Chain A
Amino acid sequence: MTGNRPFQQPLAWTEKGAFVRRPRRPLAWLAAFLALGILIMALNGLGYLAPVQDLLLRGLAPVQGFISETTSRVAEVVNTARDLQTLRARNEALQREVDRLTIENIQLKEVEAENANLRRLLDFAQRHPFLEFRGAEVVARVIGRSPNNFAGYLLIDLGSEDGIREGMPVVTERGLVGRISQVYSTTSRVLLLTDPSSAVNALIQTSRLVGLVEGQPGGELIMSYIPQDAEVIPGEIVITSGLGGEFPRNLVIGQITNVYQRDYEMFQRAVVRPSVNFGRLEQVLVITNFVPLEGVEELAAPEQTEAP
């Protein structure tokens, strides 16, 4: 039944009576595939796979975009049907808020105009970063996310051909999303604030205390290196400080929800709830005229801070 061929391997029955071949030297097969895997890693490290990756992402982008959009629409219909009553109440509350904000906006525009005049008069060197970015934001569509739960990345449909460069900050109207970490010809990867390798110099808006906001496994944000003797109150807004030159200042990161203070530690830590809902991002803005400073050391610890 097994035949007379050389190098015959052991056979086993399956439920339909067909044979499954089992390799005689399973560890050899394992070693061979691992070696192949390491070879592929080496090729990637030497840059040989970069053109393949670029070509693949270029081809996949329309498919990913279509699936993302379809999924968004389906999710929207399902959520709308389910939350109709809640949405009605929320709509009324939001309409009241819009009315209030419209009036506040008008007042702020007056202040802004006056501020601009004063700066011109005083030849004020420090520029408000928000004003700086008007006309220099590019809208990008989110076409995918990291398939891996350990990574916090988005894939957007703009790349080097659209003027996107590594390090450009990415925002929404609600606040900071992250920065461009890898650029391909027609797509780019955005490193989210919540990724464990992300670290942003920040400050608490009211008290002006500086610290470092770091992503944690599971999507949390922790602000570290807050002076031990400082008073930190939940509810305070955290914004970018601009220190280190990686991000513009005054971009909203989130709101403090919890503070961890231990007497035996040199610094306090605070949990920050991001202002952006990273799970529902469909469009983002890439700030194209902010040039990150290179070679400037950030305020960072030797080891990543873990959430308590």
Chain B
Amino acid sequence: MTVGWAMAILGVLTILQSTALPRLPLLGVHPDVVLLAVLHWALLRGMREGLLWALVGGLWLDLLSGLPFGLSIISLILVAFLASLWEASLFREHISLIVLATALLSVLHGGIYVALLRLTGHPAGSWSAFWRISMPTALYTSLLSPIMFAALRWLDAATRREQLEW
């Protein structure tokens, strides 16, 4: 899976996340499909590709979000690292584990992001933001995990023979 493909896929997901998905709010938030893709790719492909997708996905999000630059990069790298430590084969057979793992990692991502916002002095870095935004986002995002995991598992199988190219 080349860097170019990662940029294209995550770019499309970021654009969808900034255009179409805000039209589908649940509990006042929209799902974080970039986070979902990064977590699942880290589960499927391991650390190196997971961290690469985290870097690329975070770059896309930071370029379009308007919040302090770099927060998405750092937070996605950290959760992708943790996701890549888990054993992928467990998740292929148990859809409930995928949803659970995604929910936990999404909550963690939200907590990390809020902490980073607080470090930068942004007003959104508050405990209130964690409860009102991070938690509903994690719930909504994890509901989509079976669909995203199925799609990325197909992509993983189709591109399995390719080596990571820089």
Contact = CB atoms under 8 A, between A and B. Distances in A.
A26 B85 contact: yes
B15 interface: yes
A245 interface: no
Contacts, number: 164
Given A37-B73, A64-B15, A67-B15, A150 B160 contact: no
B127 to A, nearest CB: 8
A37 B23 contact: no
Interface in A2-39: 13-16, 18, 20-23, 26, 29-30, 33-34, 36-38
Interface stretch (A86-94, A108-116, A124-132, A141-149): A141-149
B16 interface: yes
Contacts of A118: none
Contacts of B51: 29-30, 33
Interface string A283-308: 00000000000000000000010110
A41 interface: yes
Given A16-B157, A145-B19, A22 B66 contact: no
Contacts of B137: 149
Interface in A134-166: 143-151, 153, 155
B70 A40 contact: yes
Given A67-B15, A147-B34, A151-B66, A15 B92 contact: yes
Nearest to B89: A15
Interface in B115-166: 117, 122-124, 126, 128-129, 132-133, 137, 157, 160-161
A307 B133 contact: no
A196 interface: yes
Contacts of A67: 15-16, 19-20
Interface string B59-81: 10111111101101110011001
Contacts of B126: 196, 217, 304, 306
A212 B132 CA distance: 22
Most interface-central of A14, A150, A181 (chain B CB within 10 A): A150
A29 B160 CA distance: 22
B4 to A, nearest CB: 15
Interface of A: 13-16, 18, 20-23, 26, 29-30, 33-34, 36-38, 40-41, 44-45, 49, 52-53, 56-57, 60, 63-64, 67-68, 71-72, 75, 143-151, 153, 155, 181-182, 189, 191, 195-197, 216-219, 279, 304, 306-307
The 7 closest A-B pairs by CB, nearest first: A41-B70, A217-B129, A218-B132, A196-B123, A147-B17, A37-B73, A148-B65
13 contacts: A22-B47, A37-B73, A37-B77, A38-B74, A44-B62, A57-B64, A67-B19, A68-B19, A71-B19, A71-B20, A146-B66, A150-B117, A151-B67
